[in-house]
Chain A
Amino acid sequence: MKNLTLFLFCIFIVFLQLSVEGVFFSERRIPDLALTLVITLVLTLGFKESVKWILLTGILIDAGSSAVFGTATLSFFLIGWTISWFADVADIRSRKTFFLATFALLVAVSEIVKNFIVWGGLKTNASYSHKPLNAALHIFSADHFLKILYTIVAAYILYYIFRRVSRALFVEPIKLMKRYH
């Protein structure tokens, strides 16, 4: 049940990003829901539990994107691993305000890192196939700033929705199971 719910949740988020967000947002400002899902999963379930869902999300995003196949998956995996290590060391969930600020910072830095990895893949592909590079990464542009801002807002929303849902769907049944066995 837990696996099926998470599977459907990941697919739903990816479909939202691929098909729905483009209707409401300008192309270069689309919030990166898949990345927010990765961060949410790692902070909520832990990296070990999230690996398969991170890989699933990455592969689906890779299939529907202009990036070199595998680069989004690799970036999600590396970001998830780094965040889990950082969350362990810094104990970011110890205080609420500290967590809120750190969470926003994590999302912003992760978005920049992911864009660099994906763009690096495209650049390698362009030089490898002797074609002009069709994509530009403008870190200090208004579009990129707004994309990060929207992603942070989306991350807060997704994180709190996921925590509520996971509490109802995953944690409570486990507690009940323990009580009766």
Chain B
Amino acid sequence: MFRKNLKYISIIIILAIVIFAGLHGADNPVKGVILSVSSPFLKTFRIFSGGTAGFFQFLGSIGDLKNDNERLLEENQKLIAENNRLKDAEKENVDLRNQLDLAPRHDFRLEASFVIAQDPQGLGNFFLIDKGQNAGVKTGMPAIVSNGILVGRVTESFPNTAKVTLITDPGSAVNAEAQKTGAKGIIEGEYGLGLKMSMISQADVLNEGDSVITSGLGGEIPRGLTVGKIGQVGQSPDKLFQETSVVPAVDVSKLRIVFIVKGQ
């Protein structure tokens, strides 16, 4: 019996050694090689599936297109007016910054990348992108979507791929503040796809619906990236701080393209 199963028991022992090595971080080169080889195929699969999903969504949404069109036309007119006002404000901002000798706020060096895979176990909150160390992507860099919305941070970098852990991950912590009142706190992920802002002083004011942005404290993530909007405000269990739920500004589970902020 034992002799018959010796081969299988050996495999289990080898796998236990592999797991032990993985706990020490020795798995990184192996993962890097496998992901480098498979990254072009994963990208092709993802692009193809994205197209298929888009086609089905389009079929389902034909009925809503007319209403959407009318709403968008109206919204467009409002935006044109607002755009003109903002252009004036931007010009004024540039002049003032020049006078104060400040660097532009959103002059980021960005690396565009495709989302090529997501966590197959469904236990964590991360995705893989098709850019890695060869494109200058390093651990700790923030990932945003085009309009400056923070979605996560690079937590592992391989030669041609990188792992981006979402801000909704329970282990993620980002320094943030309420845009209008300046109330500072820490944004943490909650199980599922929610966000919580905690460690907010009792003296600070929190208004439901106000925007939450990154505060830039700690230096890794630049100031001014949008995180979401303040939801329900409450107290921490020990009543020492305020805390609030934060509604993410983007559905992080449906991302296709993200930008890695390589520097300012």
Give the interface of A toward B (CB within 8 A). 11, 15-24, 26-30, 32, 34, 51, 55, 59-74, 77-78, 81, 115, 118-119, 121-122, 124-125, 128-129, 131-138, 143, 147
Task: Identify the closest chain B residue to A131 (Cβ).
Answer: B171
Comparing B45-53, B104-112, B200-208, the segment that makes contact with chain A is B45-53
Contacts of B117 in A (CB 8 A): 18-19, 22, 64
Secondary structure dominating the interface of B: helix
Give the interface of B toward A (CB within 8 A). 8, 11-12, 15-16, 18-19, 21-23, 27, 30-31, 34-35, 38, 41-43, 45-46, 48-50, 52-53, 116-128, 163, 165, 169-171, 191-193, 253
Query: Within the assembled complex, what's the spacing in Å between the Cα atoms of A125 and B119?
Result: 17
Query: Within the assembled complex, what's the spacing in Å between the Cα atoms of A8 and B221?
Result: 42
Contact assessment for B30 and A118 in the assembled complex, using a CB-CB cutoff below 8 Å:
no
Q: A15-B45, A29-B122, A60-B38 are in contact. List 19 more A-B contacts (CB 8 A).
A: A15-B41, A20-B46, A20-B49, A23-B49, A24-B53, A27-B125, A28-B122, A28-B192, A30-B118, A51-B11, A61-B120, A65-B119, A66-B163, A67-B121, A71-B19, A124-B23, A133-B171, A135-B170, A147-B122
Contact assessment for A68 and B11 in the assembled complex, using a CB-CB cutoff below 8 Å:
no
- Evaluate whether A115 and B23 lie within 8 angstroms (CB atoms) in the complex, with A23-B50, A69-B18, A134-B171 already known: no
Query: Within the assembled complex, what's the spacing in Å between the Cα atoms of A118 and B123?
Result: 9
Contact assessment for A68 and B123 in the assembled complex, using a CB-CB cutoff below 8 Å:
no
Query: Within the assembled complex, what's the spacing in Å between the Cα atoms of A111 and B124?
Result: 16
> CB < 8 Å: which of A15, A67, A136 contacts B191?
A136
Contacts of A137 in B (CB 8 A): 123
Contact assessment for A23 and B46 in the assembled complex, using a CB-CB cutoff below 8 Å:
yes
Question: Shortest CB–CB separation between residue A152 and chain B, in angstroms?
Answer: 16
Contacts of A147 in B (CB 8 A): 122
Task: Identify the closest chain A residue to B256 (Cβ).
Answer: A23
Question: Shortest CB–CB separation between residue B214 and chain A, in angstroms?
Answer: 20
Contacts of B22 in A (CB 8 A): 68-71, 125
> CB < 8 Å: which of A27, A55, A125 contacts B118?
A27
Contact assessment for A69 and B31 in the assembled complex, using a CB-CB cutoff below 8 Å:
yes
Contacts of B49 in A (CB 8 A): 19-20, 23-24
Contacts of B121 in A (CB 8 A): 65-67, 72, 115, 118, 135
21 pairs, CB–CB < 8 Å, chain A vs chain B: A16-B45, A18-B117, A23-B49, A24-B53, A26-B253, A30-B118, A51-B8, A59-B34, A64-B117, A65-B121, A67-B121, A68-B19, A70-B19, A70-B21, A77-B11, A77-B12, A78-B12, A131-B171, A132-B170, A132-B171, A134-B169
